[in-house]
Amino acid sequence: MSEGQAGHANFVLPLLRPGMRVLAVGCVPRRGRGDGRLVASLGTATHPLHVVGLDTNVDGLRAARRASELAAVSTTDFAASRASELAVRSESFDVVYAHAVLDRVPEPAVVLAEFARVLTPGGLLALSTPDWGRTRVKPRTANVDAALRGWSMLRRREGGDPAAGRHVEDWVRQAGFRDIRSRARFHGGADYRQLARTIESELGEALRGSGESMDPQLASAARSAWMWVRGGQGEVSQCWVETVAVR
């Protein structure tokens, strides 16, 4: 759905210094098995640097570990862990980087408290958080609008916030971080029809799981996504809010 997690981490790379320990939370793409490029890009940014990638997708972590080994990036490790309960010691990392995490969790404050816990005093928090409300889709047909509305409704019902990017700076401030810098960046190059397929798939999964109590709004949105997939090519420029703060 985007140019890839590794590209989204570019704003973090200038912050890294030799000897740092970096925690990459949510290091596996939402769909697919993951290729390890995010952790590898961080792990090779400077030397020596130790990067630990955490995610709940065990299969994706396994694939990312293999890819990292094939690329001979020896300064990376991977482990399964929820963002709300990080399986690492307190004050053990100099940088925490999280891509597309806060929009998927029901309690961002809990996750941010965990990020603060594992950072050393003066450590850096770096977040890449989407704001789907500002995503630019061309052509933006009636089917596209209906599919996006239904998908956003589904995400909210599941406890996430597809517009998390517009709130992230306030959340970080409330979590006690300081020296907060935040900016919106539009990432182009996403596959128009692949975005439609992803939305169609997620809506379809939700409908199949609902049994006889099928939601007519989600069903209508799924039909619109189906039409979007078959409606030709287009362009997507997704809005990501890049936030850096000090613990």
Instruction: Point out the residues of the chain with pLDDT beneath 50.
Output: 1-3, 32-35
Cα–Cα distance for residue pair 14/20, rounded to 1 Å: 13
The pLDDT value recorded for residue 32 is 41
**According to the model, what pLDDT value does residue 121 have?**
97
| 73/221 Cα distance (integer angstroms) | 43
Helix (H, G, I), strand (E, B) or coil at 209: helix
Written out in words, the top-level CATH class of the domain with range 5-246 is alpha beta
* pLDDT, tens digit, 9 for 90 and up, residues 165-216: 999 999 999 999 999 999 999 988 778 999 999 999 999 999 988 765 678 9
Q: Which of 147, 186, 179, 145 shows the shortest CA–CA distance to 165? A: 186
pLDDT of residue 65: 79
| pTM of the complete model | 0.87
Residue 82's DSSP bridge partners are 85
User: What ranges do the domains of the chain cover?
Assistant: 5-246
Quote the pLDDT of residue 35.
Answer: 46
Q: What is the 3-state secondary structure (H, E, C) of 137-201?
A: EECCCHHHHHHHHHHHHHHHHCCCCCCHHHCHHHHHHHCCCEEEEEEEEEEEEECHHHHHHHHHH
